[in-house]
Amino acid sequence: MFGNVFIILALIAAIYSVVMYYQASNGNERALVFARYGYHIMSALVISASLFFLYIILTHQYQYKYVFDYSNADLTTGLLLSTSYAGQEGSFLLWLFLAVVTGIVLQNYTSKKQGIEPAFMMIYSLVLVFLIAMVTPFFKSPFNFIWSEANYIDVKYINQSLLNLPILQNFIFNDSKTNQSFVQMGPDLISSLKSNGIAVGDFLIKGKGLNPLLQNFWMEVHPPILFLGFALSIVPFTFAVSALIKNKYDQWIKLALPWTVAASVVLGLGLMIGGYWAYGVLGWGGFWGWDPVENASLIPWLISVALIHTMLIQKQTQISSKDKLGRYAKTNIVLAVLMFLLVLYSTFLTRSGILSKASVHSFEDPGAAVYIFLILFILTFTVIGLGGVYYRRKYLAGLNNIKEKFLSRENGLLYGSLFLVASALVVFVGTSAPLINESVETSFYNKMNLPLVIIMGLLIGFTLFLRWRETEGSNFVRGVIPSLLISLIISVAIFVLLGIKGFALIVFLYSIIFTIVVNIQMLIRVFRNGFYFWGGHLAHIGFALFLFGVLASSTLSSSQQIDLPKGITKNVLNNQLTFTGAAAIGNGDKYAFNINVKEKNKSFTASPVMFISDFNNEIMREPYIYAGLTKDLYFSPLSYVDNNDNNNTKVEHTSLKDNSAAAPSEILTVEVSTKPFISFVWIGVFIMSIGFVIVVLRRNRENKILNL
């Protein structure tokens, strides 16, 4: 009850804050004070609701439907905390919490900038109104009691000593098909329990628990980072819309640029942590399978990177020309709006249930009310954002009178941004296909994106040899030719050593090496200027290393499925493998299948895991990864056979439960894969993230110097 009260009061305070900020934006200075009160009261209430939510999870209060559905007392504290965003209701509350905390920082930030706060915080608070509304009892509240709607609960979750009480007999039902018994939880049962002095907490003593796929450290980290990226994506949108409201487009770029870069790095980091989780947990041997849910978050990230580059153009042309607005002011407004709208679209795709059959971790259908509300959410801010651009179209059309030569850094950055947008469009089309009951193969994304990424890599290198406004063609050629030749020599050497085949892939490799070579050159040039000037070059190098990891691991990987009888050594992908048997691990409910591995001068034990999950009564498989700088060995367990079984069949379930693991005729079927240079994927993301952070620090430092 307390949680829903906090949320409803927060919604009222948020609406009040929007109204007061609206009045303040129209010149009512006294309203600004009340608007701030409203925002901070709303923030306090949302934070209180979030803390109360964690409290009911950590104290195992299963009378709350969310707590019952996603947690139990067997989970570690870290996993218990992660259950707070395992379901739709909790993940919306997490997004709201992070957006509110970000807004506290922004309110203080904008209050120090003359005339910016009212319009900015009005729009920001309006976004929060929708986020708060989503977690009210009318839609997806995490604070609803389990008896708020009819629920049939397996008797295994009930205190067994109470099942024979006469008052319960009218609420117990048996499924003749499965021979399972259920208790109907509803207001009548709760009333009967209370009238007999039985607390709900003494009656309902166990929760369903957490999906085993989510019981992983990286899933404790991935969603909060991703939702922080979602929260930060609101900021450039709000700056852009407030600029439309005031019809003033020169200052918002400088203020929004650090926040846009921060949103991009956090969103990108969240995406790749999700990829690392998929690589280490799902067992299909890859970190990215163009899963629609991850694609939905990739699209706004691509737009954010494009926006950063066009923002840099506008900011630089403000300095280098007499026009204080700079180049591409309208483009930046549109991209900032699209970035947030695509985050909302991502939310719609993953929360509406549309992708439930197409994705490994989409949510189920939330119901018609939430479905309609999500559409209303998108439409509202589409009208505000793109409608604002249309309303100001005549003024925006006449903003840019700056002209630059073809060979200019402005054009290089612009074309790079256009190809990023094109890539986002490709992913958008493929990911949206389920909306019309269609789907696309992963080859669609690879084939369509490959030429785009090749051109982007070449553009990154070429653009760094271009000057702002104009570059002499002869100077450009003299500057770029040595880098082209060095890149060619290195590419040929790598091509010969690795044996990469296919003309398109060879060109792809060349564009990657060219990007690295040029940015190392430029990094050496600016090294003595201080680390504030390293950021962009490190980000580009990291991006190129990431692409090299993608190229090498996807084209040079090899895999083999093999049956491993216990005690018999087999040669698999130049490795000597010997299955030595299964061993119970954890609390005895999981089994590690130990494989001795010998490769040249090194040896180790690989221990992939299989177990029967109580969560869904299905067999779960956890791969084992032997990670190296130049190659990963990936062991994915497929099945386990015990030939001592009477039927001489695969008995994955029974053989994992009994003591037959010691039988000499055990056979483990496993898929063994090599993943050359996949470590460069993670190394590249790490370096790219460092580069982005340095860019944030640099742009924020520049704003302080300019007293913005």
Q: How many CB atoms lie within 10 A of CB 586?
A: 10
SS3 643: coil
Task: Please name the residue that has the structure tokens 């015990």.
Answer: 642
Which of 143, 347, 345, 140 lies closest to 226 in space, CA to CA? Answer: 347
Note every long-range contact of 23-27, with CB atoms under 8 Å and residues 24 or more positions apart, other chains counting. Answer: 24/117, 24/118, 24/122, 25/118, 25/119, 25/122, 25/245
Half-sphere exposure of 707 (CA within 13 A, CB side): 1
Q: What percent of the chain has pLDDT over 90?
A: 51
Residue 388 neighbours by CB under 8 Å, 6+ apart: 241, 244, 245, 337
Cα–Cα distance between 34 and 706 in angstroms, integer? 30
Q: Pairing mode, if any, of strands 609-612 and 619-622?
A: antiparallel
DSSP assignment of 15-33 equals HHHHHHHHHHHTT-HHHHH
Confidence band of 171 (pLDDT split at 50, 70, 90)? confident
- Pick the residue with more confidence: 433 or 135? 135
Quick one: pLDDT at residue 50?
A: 96
Paired tokens of 29: 């200075």
Cα–Cα distance between 247 and 86 in angstroms, integer? 42
Q: What percent of the chain has pLDDT over 70?
A: 92
Task: Please name the residue that has the structure tokens 């050497």.
Answer: 493
- Pick the residue with more confidence: 405 or 218? 218
Q: What is the pLDDT of residues 614-644, one digit of tens each?
A: 887 888 899 999 999 999 999 999 998 876 6
Q: Is 80 exceeded by the pLDDT of residue 662?
A: no
Paired tokens of 427: 């992913």
Task: Please name the residue that has the structure tokens 């600016």.
Answer: 526
With beta carbons less than 8 A apart as the criterion, state whether 364 and 353 touch. yes
Confidence band of 211 (pLDDT split at 50, 70, 90)? confident
Residue 393: which H helix or E strand, with range?
helix 393-397
Paired tokens of 128: 């929060």
Confidence band of 708 (pLDDT split at 50, 70, 90)? low
Rounded mean pLDDT of 70-80?
A: 90
Paired tokens of 651: 């008995």
Q: Is 90 exceeded by the pLDDT of residue 396?
A: no
Cα–Cα distance between 708 and 706 in angstroms, integer? 5
Q: What is the pLDDT of residues 302-322, one digit of tens each?
A: 999 999 999 988 888 877 666
With beta carbons less than 8 A apart as the criterion, state whether 327 and 410 touch. yes
Q: What is the pLDDT of residues 49-72, one digit of tens each?
A: 999 999 999 999 999 999 999 999
Cα–Cα distance between 290 and 443 in angstroms, integer? 9
Quick one: pLDDT at residue 383?
A: 95
Beta strands in 536-682 (DSSP E): 558-565, 569-572, 575-585, 590-599, 602-606, 609-612, 619-622, 624-626, 631-642, 666-676
Paired tokens of 225: 């980072």
Task: Please name the residue that has the structure tokens 């493998």.
Answer: 577
Q: Is 90 exceeded by the pLDDT of residue 197?
A: no
Q: Is 70 exceeded by the pLDDT of residue 648?
A: no
Q: Is 60 exceeded by the pLDDT of residue 698?
A: yes
Q: Out of 255-269, 400-414, 646-660, which region has the weakest mean confidence (pLDDT)?
A: 646-660
Cα–Cα distance between 116 and 120 in angstroms, integer? 6
Q: Out of 271-280, 349-358, 419-428, 551-560, which region has the weakest mean confidence (pLDDT)?
A: 349-358
Q: Out of 221-235, 347-361, 572-586, which region has the weakest mean confidence (pLDDT)?
A: 347-361
Q: Is 60 exceeded by the pLDDT of residue 657?
A: no
Q: Is 60 exceeded by the pLDDT of residue 650?
A: no
The residues facing 172 across adjacent strands are: 183
Q: What is the 3-state secondary structure (H, E, C) of 294-320?
A: HHHHHHHHHHHHHHHHHHHHHHHHHHH
The residues facing 602 across adjacent strands are: 599
Cα–Cα distance between 338 and 326 in angstroms, integer? 21
CA dist list (Å): 545 to 513, 515, 549, 678 = 9, 9, 6, 10
- For the chain, give the mean pLDDT: 87
- Where b means 16+ CB within 10 Å and e means fewer, 377-402 reads bbebbbebbeebbeebeeebeebbeb
Cα–Cα distance between 606 and 593 in angstroms, integer? 8
Say which DSSP state 116 is in: T
SS3 504: helix
Q: What is the pLDDT of residues 504-545, one digit of tens each?
A: 999 999 999 999 999 999 999 988 888 888 999 999 999 999
Q: Would you say how long the chain is, in residues?
A: 708
- Pick the residue with more confidence: 363 or 252? 252
Q: What is the pLDDT of residues 123-166, one digit of tens each?
A: 999 999 999 999 999 888 999 998 887 788 888 889 888 888 88
Cα–Cα distance between 585 and 549 in angstroms, integer? 33
Paired tokens of 550: 């993608």
Quick one: pLDDT at residue 357?
A: 57
The residues facing 571 across adjacent strands are: 576
